[in-house]
Structure 1
């Protein structure tokens, strides 16, 4: 795997190179300065964003990408573990099969992003914003999402085991076959969501606000539902209540 630094990345980009798949930039500082420079150069080509850059399989473990505009970048299979992506723009980004375990994604924008089989174990996504994103087979074990906004997104076979979902806003959305075991969703705001075949064993929903919710064939064994009124949600064929 070839290792390059930020200056070399800029030089190659200026020369017209767009495919950086498999490069090793672990620990690189590729924050606002470099991202903005990439965008500026890309815009001179009558484009409006950095989109289309191929960073598949790239190693950015521990990199500082704070505030970077990474809209529509293809990070499929990339290693972004422990990277700092605070406030980054990942709108329309492709993060399928990427490793973002332990990454800092506070206040990141994930609108219309694709996160299929993405590893976000222990990642920090507090106050993240996600509209129309796809989370399919995503791993969010022990992830911290407090205050995140997950609107009109799709969740299928997502692992939220022991995730911190306090004050998370979700809806409208369809959530299928997801595992919320031991998750903390206290004071959450859940609006027009339909949960199918989900596992809520040992979850805490204390003082959560719900409106227009359906739980179909869900498992609530040992779940804490303190403060939730029965009229706020429908529990069809669900168990453990």
Structure 2
């Protein structure tokens, strides 16, 4: 079988296995650090608990592969297809996932700190308990993703990301969400204090009990959003759209209103 040939070749010092077809191979618990499997077909492979540090999987097909518990630190997964892959508890610190397809992937408790996921598709992925500190999610798709208990501390970049229908129950303190599409997102209880939400789309989002104190919501679209009990103290709502929002019990202390469209459709400036 080709998996045995690969292991023998690797043991002999070979590292370039780009473009090979090892779909369904069992490579569990193997040391394959710095291997080059770019463009390879690894569909439904078992790579669980393997050492893949610094490996090159760019444009590889890893559909429904088992990468649970793997060491993928500093690996290159640019443009890789990880649809439905299992990456639970995998260490992806510093990995490059630019343009990767992670639709429906399982990333429970995965370590994604300092990863580059620019333009990655994480729709319907499960990121429960994952560490996303300092991750670059610019232009990423997180539609209907599960981010319950995910750790987003530190600076996270969600500029122009789309998280329609995603479920958050996390702290994103100080996050850069400039232009992010958060339409219909469940952000109940989320901590978005001091975050940059300039030009963000929060229409129909559920922000009940969330903390947006000192946040920058300049030109943000909050049409129809649930803002019950929301902490907006000190927030900047310059030219924001609050049409048809429910702000019962919201903390509006020291909020900056400037040409802000209020829930009743009127335009209001606080000074």
Q: TM-score range by the shorter chain?
A: 0.7 to 0.9
Task: Find the residue that maps to 1:130 and give its secondary structure.
Answer: strand
Residues of 2 paired with 1:9 and 1:26: CA distance?
19
Residue 191, structure 1, aligned to residue 208, structure 2:
yes
Task: Say whether the 8 Å CA contact 1:66–1:85 is kept in structure 2.
Answer: yes
Instruction: Normalising by structure 1, report the TM-score.
Output: 0.86
Shift of 1:9: 11
Counterparts in 2 of 1:8 and 1:31: CA distance versus 1, 3 Å: closer
**Structure with the bigger percentage of helix:** 1
Residues of 2 paired with 1:101 and 1:228: CA distance?
32
Residues of 2 paired with 1:57 and 1:161: CA distance?
27
Match of 1:13 among 7, 10, 28: 28
RMSD: 2.1
Q: Pairwise mapping of residues 39-50 of structure 1 onto structure 2 (< 5 A)? A: 50=68
Count the aligned residue pairs.
224
Unaligned runs of 5+ in 1: 39-49
Residues of 1 paired with 2:132 and 2:246: CA distance?
33
Instruction: Normalising by structure 2, report the TM-score.
Output: 0.77
Q: Which structure carries more relative contact order (alpha carbon 8 Å, separation 6+)?
A: 1
Larger-gyration structure (1/2): 2
Residue 140, structure 1, aligned to residue 158, structure 2:
yes
Shift of 1:13: 3.5
Partner of 1:202: 219
| Deviations, residues 6-60 of structure 1 (Å, cap 9, x unaligned) | 749966535466321111110111111x32xx5xxxxxxxxxxx22x21011000
Unaligned runs of 5+ in 2: 1-14, 33-49, 259-271
**Structure with the bigger percentage of strand:** 1
Match of 1:221 among 229, 238, 241: 238
Task: Say whether the 8 Å CA contact 1:201–1:223 is kept in structure 2.
Answer: yes
Counterparts in 2 of 1:92 and 1:180: CA distance versus 1, 3 Å: same
Residues of 1 paired with 2:16 and 2:75: CA distance?
10
| Deviations, residues 138-160 of structure 1 (Å, cap 9, x unaligned) | 10000011111112x11122111
Partner of 1:41: none
Residues of 1 paired with 2:253 and 2:63: CA distance?
48
